[in-house]
Amino acid sequence: MPGMARAAATADAFNAVAEPRRREILDLLVTGERPVNDLVGALELGQPQVSKHLRVLREVGLVEVRERGRQRMYRINGRPLEQIHDWVGGFERTWNERFDALEGVLEELKTEEEDNADD
């Protein structure tokens, strides 16, 4: 059975945030809740597109909505970002120079151990 469906898709925060426009939206919402048209004005993008991006963000729990008259006020809920922060944080030593140095030392220790394999 070739070409089968792959695992979900835009179902998690990683994917939601992979899209630059959605990151822009979150950047805009970080200062507080905003109606859709506000975002449409700020981004250079049509209203339906913004609504669709907001839908994705909503589905992964990154934004929440509140109705105010005929507008929908969107606000951030960053909790799903914690997962990303944690995962990426686990790789800190792979970009941090100080940790790189530490790794060098550990490598040396390992080499010494191998050299003294006869004790």
Partner DNA sequence: TTGACACATACCGGTATCGGTATATAATGC
Partner DNA sequence: GCATTATATACCGATACCGGTATGTGTCAA
Residues in contact with DNA by the rule CB under 7 A:
2-6, 8-11, 15, 19, 21, 35-38, 40, 45-56, 65, 69-72
- The binder of a second copy chosen from 2, 20, 48, 69 (CB under 8 A): 20
d(CA 11, CA 72): 23
Q: Which is nearer to DNA, 8 or 105 (CB)?
A: 8
Touching a second copy, residues 84-103 (CB under 8 A): 84-85, 87-95
Q: Which is nearer to DNA, 5 or 105 (CB)?
A: 5
Beta-carbon contacts of 30 under 8 Å, excluding residues fewer than 6 positions away, are: 76
Strands annotated E in 4-93: 34-35, 63-68, 71-76
Q: Tokens representing 99?
A: 């940790």
Contact 76, 63 (CB under 8 A): yes
Q: Which is nearer to DNA, 38 or 84 (CB)?
A: 38
Of these partners, DNA, a second copy, none, which one is at the site of residue 92 (CB under 5 to 8 Å by kind)?
a second copy
